[in-house]
A and B are shown apart, each in its own frame.
Chain A
């Protein structure tokens, strides 16, 4: 499973990264976490508000930081 966190490195992007890490750890999933920080690449996902979360090339969240539980549900679903 490849998880990408899109965002220019703001505080919320870091919080999202930490939440995703925690969610993956709690589920015991083997995931590849990737930060996407350059804007042309971020825009490819059609995202206009950061941070955004992409799981296996599918956009899950944009413009907010979901809770660990919410991310866990996304990763399982």
Chain B
């Protein structure tokens, strides 16, 4: 999709800067310029498109749709709606209260809460930029599967008493927000592009910079040996490292791309990304306002375990990842 860009940047690096791509400096510089331009283009386009679609699915509507389903079907619906419902961690508390108050089971609510942050537009755009369609879609699918299974397990644990008492007493009013015009949807989508790019560009540049260094300088044999697909501990370490990192660490994706091209397992890299986006400390602190520590711990454990399994699965089915870069 971006071979034209690859070619243009090659012309720039080799022709203007006089640095052949076979040299380390040349390879690093090419990776950096190429990746920055590619990610900015994809980020803007994807966030705009996805935000536009999302403006049709406000959480108030999602709640109504979910209340109509039952059983496993409701977990699946919750996960799927988690993809399209706009969500930021600052909204997780009112969202949680709204779901609980509407009588949506706890497990279904968690299916939504797990999938929603994993499958976010920025992660999707950067995955698309770094790995291409196939892996971006597999990532989405994995996010849904983790959400569905995680929600079912949390539902089975019967932890309703772990929700703070006041939540059950809240009476929510009926809301009726008017339908948006196409222009208002476009403004909403464009604002999202600005906001997300604003929030992550520093991390992205740092990430691409580190990725570029890895690209030019990292010893391939060493990385493949210690973090390759056949090392089961690599996934574990990746998830453990990813949980405390804040969700802004989307800059990790270009690092992951470079690492994969040097032989790090694809599952290891995906598990790391999911852990970073799904399990962030700020979100836990917010959720503490409505649920007790034991349920938060179960949430982290179940989602973390799911991510771990996805990591192993990918390392198993795609032991040698082909970088689409």
Q: Mark B23-60, 1 if CB is under 8 A from A, else 0.
A: 00000000000000000000000000000000100111
Closest to A58 in B: B176
Chain B interface size, as a band, is 20 to 34
Interface stretch of the complex, out of B6-14, B166-174, B261-269: B166-174
Residues of A within 8 A of B70 (CB): none
How far is it, in angstroms, between the C-alpha of A10 and the C-alpha of B286 when the chains are bound?
11
Residues of B within 8 A of A47 (CB): 60, 94, 175
Closest to A70 in B: B184
Is B94 touching A42 in the complex (CB atoms < 8 A)?
Answer: yes
A43 with B94, Cβ < 8 A, contacts A48-B63, A49-B86 known: yes
Q: Does A64 contact B (CB under 8 A)?
A: yes
Q: Mark B171-185, 1 if CB is under 8 A from A, else 0.
A: 111111100000010
Residues of B within 8 A of A46 (CB): 60, 98, 172-175
Q: Tell me how many residues of A have a C-beta within 8 Å of chain B.
A: 28
Is A63 touching B91 in the complex (CB atoms < 8 A)?
Answer: yes
Q: Does B187 contact A (CB under 8 A)?
A: yes
Q: Does B188 contact A (CB under 8 A)?
A: yes
Q: Does B97 contact A (CB under 8 A)?
A: yes
CB distance from A19 to the nearest CB of B (A): 11
Interface of B is mostly: helix
Q: Which of A9, A10, A45, A65 contacts B173 (CB 8 A)?
A: A45
Q: Does B220 contact A (CB under 8 A)?
A: no
CB distance from B51 to the nearest CB of A (A): 10
Q: Which of A44, A61, A70 contacts B172 (CB 8 A)?
A: A44
Q: Does B289 contact A (CB under 8 A)?
A: yes
Q: Which of B55, B93, B101, B175 contacts A8 (CB 8 A)?
A: B93
Q: Does B88 contact A (CB under 8 A)?
A: yes
Residues of A within 8 A of B175 (CB): 45-48, 59, 62
Q: Does B90 contact A (CB under 8 A)?
A: yes
Is B88 touching A10 in the complex (CB atoms < 8 A)?
Answer: yes
Residues of B within 8 A of A28 (CB): none
Interface hub of A11, A49, A59, A66 (most chain B Cβ within 10 A): A49
Residues of B within 8 A of A61 (CB): 177
Q: Does B249 contact A (CB under 8 A)?
A: no
Residues of B within 8 A of A26 (CB): none
Residues of B within 8 A of A8 (CB): 90, 93-94, 286
Closest to A60 in B: B177
Q: Which of B90, B188, B289 contacts A64 (CB 8 A)?
A: B188
How far is it, in angstroms, between the C-alpha of A8 and the C-alpha of B97 when the chains are bound?
14
Closest to A53 in B: B177
- With A8-B94, A39-B97, A49-B59 given, name 7 new contacts (CB 8 A): A43-B98, A46-B98, A46-B173, A47-B175, A48-B59, A49-B91, A63-B91
